Amino acid sequence: MIRALVRWLVSAAVTVAGLLVAAILLLRVVPPPATPLMLVNAPRVGISKTWVPLEAMAPVLLRSVIAAEDARFFLHRGVDWGAIEEARDYNARHGGAPRRGGSTITMQCARNVFLWQGKSYVRKGLEVALAYAIDAAWGKRRVLEVYLNVIEWGPGLYGAEAAARTYFGVAASALDARQAALLAAVLPNPVRWSASRPTRAVLARATVIEKRAGSVSLAH
């Protein structure tokens, strides 16, 4: 009985791993049709999204998001253990909220495309493994392209194109530096924060992001 259960568990794990590998390879060239978060929230708020290639996004948006979410994006291989340690030390010193996270853009992309939301060691372990996998299989530009097309930017609002048109009435390619910084500033809490109706905290965060974005290089 126990041996049969072990064989079944091993077989199931191998099957799931194979499906994930196939999905990773497919999504190197095919846009993800939907994410788990989109499907969960769709009955309540619907889905607004328009896929656009990375070349159809203003470079200042790319720089702003990297400055805000993962300054060492081009230096790590999917997981930034230094940032995780820094976040752990910061949270241990300060406690309470807001807490600092150590997830890279690649980890967030993996979580949004393949996994569920919420916090658990199982999900975090899968997120780390998938981050390494998609960084190796997709490369930085594809990771950034997928991330900026699937990330939540408001209730039922996903991706840079839909966010730019909803909040500022322009295409993602036409965003200016301030608009890009405001979009990047709300990413930690896109349901509560609005890029077009920013709070003082969001405005202050956007100002810092706008300054940092100027030093981000996309020539990698």
Condensed to tens digits (0 to 9), the pLDDT of residues 93-106 reads 656 555 556 799 99
Q: Residue 220's pLDDT band (boundaries 50, 70, 90)?
A: confident
For the chain, first and last CA: distance in Å?
54
> Among the listed ranges 61-70, 108-117, 119-128, 138-147, which one has the minimum average pLDDT value?
119-128
Q: Where along the chain do its domains lie?
A: 1-30, 34-213
At residue 209, does pLDDT exceed 80? Answer: yes
CATH number given to 34-213: 1.10.3810.10
The answer to whether 150 touches 158, Cβ cutoff 8 Å, is: yes
pLDDT at 87: 64
Q: What does each C-alpha distance from 135 to 47, 125, 129, 132, 140 come to in angstroms?
A: 27, 16, 10, 5, 6
At residue 6, does pLDDT exceed 80? Answer: no
Q: Residue 208's pLDDT band (boundaries 50, 70, 90)?
A: very high
Q: Is the peptide bond before 98 cis (omega within 30 degrees of 0)?
A: yes
User: CA-CA distance, 72 to 69, in Å (whole number)?
Assistant: 9
pTM score of the predicted model: 0.90
Condensed to tens digits (0 to 9), the pLDDT of residues 16-46 reads 778 888 889 999 999 999 999 999 999 999 9
At residue 128, does pLDDT exceed 70? Answer: yes
DSSP-derived pairing of the beta strands 152-154 and 48-49: unpaired
Condensed to tens digits (0 to 9), the pLDDT of residues 57-95 reads 999 999 999 999 999 999 999 998 877 777 676 565 656
